[in-house]
Amino acid sequence: MRQPTSIRKRLFYQLAAVAAVLSLAFVLVVRGVASQAAEGTQDDILAASATAIADSLSSEQGEVTLELPYSALSMLGTINEDRVFYRVTVNNETLTGYADLPVTNAPTRLDTPAFSTEIYRGDEVRLTSILRRVSNSATGSKVVVTVAQTRSGLAAITQRITVTATGVGLLFFLLATTLSLLAATSALRPLSRMTGAVTRRGPSDLRPVTEDTPAELAPLVGALNSFMARLRSSLTRTEDLITEAAHRVRTPLATVRTQAEVTHRKLNKPEHKQAIRDMIRAIDESSRSAGQILDHAMVTFRADSLALDPLDLAALITETCDRLAPTADLKDIALLRKLPDGPVPFKGDGIMLQAALHNILDNAIKYSPEDSDITVRIEVNSALHLSITDQGRGFGDMDFESLTTRYARGANVGDVVGSGLGLTIADEVARAHGGRLELSHNKEGQGACVSLILPYV
């Protein structure tokens, strides 16, 4: 399976690549400017040295003479340890200096330096030549003063500048990549907020996304909201269909049950009465399953817009026990109520909570043996614990978490007709109120304990 790509990484890599290009350009530009500046400085000093020598030229008795000024060469020697060469030619004849010093770029204009770079005695040298005319005859003599200096010092300066620029460029790159990471994280923060807002929702929460998002995410949010609207409409139609089907099934079942009871009273043979009793029992179970389907559809619908009405949980449990007391009396089951003396306030949906309690208590009665006890209690601590404990078959070896899934039933109750929706309804009600459903074995013996744990507000 192909691994999903990360927008954050892609954005970071792109910004880091831009930072790398800018850092490299910075190093090259600084190196180039520094090299030109250093070379220009050397040319200016060479030109000043050649001019100083040319200013010392004179004519005596028709001959060109030169009293070489020490300062002309010392200004070059004080800058670095480069070697300095010079040559003075009169009408292409060497007057003084290094006779083998090449002058390839001879000046053509008076007092205008001409520059060139040559290889001399195995070293690269920078040469400056300047042209002067000295009046020592009728036409005067053409004198060319050439001063040269090796470039090792210039190379060292350029190297130092390059190292410094590289260090600065590296620091700039590191700073830019750090800022790029922060920028990528900041740019994707609205997407993370939207993801978190959707992730924190429950499985049945299909409300539109209303988080503030940038304009670039508006089409995505619009498409997501449109999809959830279509899904919500589809689920609503499905729930309506289930509700209508359950209602239409339960109504005829009530009629059939009434007719069966009338027939049961008219029969005399025991085997016929037993057959009608089995029919009535099957009708009751079918009616109960239809009722649970209605409860489940109602809980699913109301969970999307949970009501937060002020309730008294003690009164709610008392009412539920009173409703199911006749059913429990048929099996001589005692409903033991261990409730606080005063009211237990809670804000929630009373219809959903009553449906959850009714299904839990109805299951306890259905799976409990005759002449047994069912204990209903409320404990108020950091949370509200509404527990119903029976002395029935218990949960056996079933995984507690799997019992809350839709239509799941224990392996030890296969002989008892049921829909497998009772615990599912209770679990969804608990989750809708920010709580949870807890299943455990009866700590005092045989049986099961089902607890609704709700946040105490």
- Which of 32-36, 45-49, 244-248 bottoms out in mean pLDDT, i.e. has the lowest? 244-248
**Is residue 227 in some structural domain?**
yes
Q: Which two tokens stand for residue 394?
A: 């218990």
**Is residue 66 in some structural domain?**
yes
Q: With CA atoms as reference, report the closest residue to 350 among 432, 450, 244, 437.
A: 432
Residues 215 and 131 both lie in one domain: no
For residues 56 and 67, the answer to whether their CB atoms sit within 8 Å is yes
Residues 449 and 313 both lie in one domain: yes
**The domain boundary residue, chosen from 264, 285, 305:** 305
Q: What is the side-by-side strand order in the sheet with 84-90?
A: 93-97, 84-90, 141-150, 123-134, 114-120
**The domain boundary residue, chosen from 126, 159, 192:** 159
For residues 169 and 23, the answer to whether their CB atoms sit within 8 Å is yes
CATH of the domain at 114: 3.30.450
- H or E segment and range at residue 440: strand 436-441
Residues 317 and 455 both lie in one domain: yes
Q: Which two tokens stand for residue 199?
A: 């992730």
Helix axes 7-55, 152-199, angle to 10 degrees: 160
**The domain boundary residue, chosen from 159, 181, 197:** 159
Q: Which residues contact 224 (CB under 8 A, 6 or more apart)?
A: 198, 209
- The domain in which residue 318 lies consists of 307-457
Please state whether beta strands 373-380 and 334-338 pair in parallel, antiparallel, or not at all (unpaired): parallel
Q: For the chain, how are helix, strand and coil distributed in percent, rounded to 5? A: 55, 20, 25
Higher pLDDT, 283 or 369: 369
- H or E segment and range at residue 214: none
Q: Is the pLDDT of residue 310 over 80?
A: yes
Residues 279 and 338 both lie in one domain: no
Residues 320 and 454 both lie in one domain: yes
Q: Which two tokens stand for residue 245?
A: 């089907």
What pLDDT is recorded for position 411?
60
**Contacts within 8 Å (CB) and 24+ apart, 309-313:** 309/347, 309/348, 309/349, 309/350, 310/345, 310/346, 310/347, 311/345, 311/346, 311/347, 311/348, 311/350, 311/353, 312/343, 312/344, 312/345, 312/346, 313/344, 313/345, 313/346, 313/353, 313/378, 313/384, 313/386
Going by pLDDT thresholds of 50, 70 and 90, the confidence category of residue 375 is very high
pLDDT in tens, 394-414: 887 777 777 777 766 666 565
Residues 267 and 299 both lie in one domain: yes
What pLDDT is recorded for position 50?
87
For residues 136 and 95, the answer to whether their CB atoms sit within 8 Å is no
Residues 329 and 407 both lie in one domain: yes
**Is residue 187 in some structural domain?**
no
Q: With CA atoms as reference, report the closest residue to 189 among 29, 319, 8.
A: 8
**Is residue 329 in some structural domain?**
yes
If phi over 0 gives left and psi between -120 and 50 gives alpha, with beta otherwise, what is residue 396?
left
Q: Is the pLDDT of residue 15 over 80?
A: yes
Percent of the chain exceeding pLDDT 90 equals 5
pLDDT in tens, 269-307: 788 778 887 787 777 777 777 777 777 777 777 776 677
**Is residue 180 in some structural domain?**
no
Q: Which two tokens stand for residue 292?
A: 């649970």
CATH of the domain at 311: 3.30.565.10
What pLDDT is recorded for position 139?
62
What pLDDT is recorded for position 79?
52
Residues 125 and 244 both lie in one domain: no
Residues 364 and 349 both lie in one domain: yes
Phi, psi of 434 (to 5 degrees): 80, 15
Residues 138 and 52 both lie in one domain: yes
**Is residue 109 in some structural domain?**
yes
Residues 317 and 260 both lie in one domain: no
Residues 113 and 80 both lie in one domain: yes
Higher pLDDT, 409 or 261: 261
**Is residue 76 in some structural domain?**
yes
How many structural domains compose the chain? Answer: 3
- H or E segment and range at residue 208: none
Please state whether beta strands 383-389 and 345-348 pair in parallel, antiparallel, or not at all (unpaired): unpaired
**Is residue 195 in some structural domain?**
no
**How much is the mean pLDDT over the chain?**
82
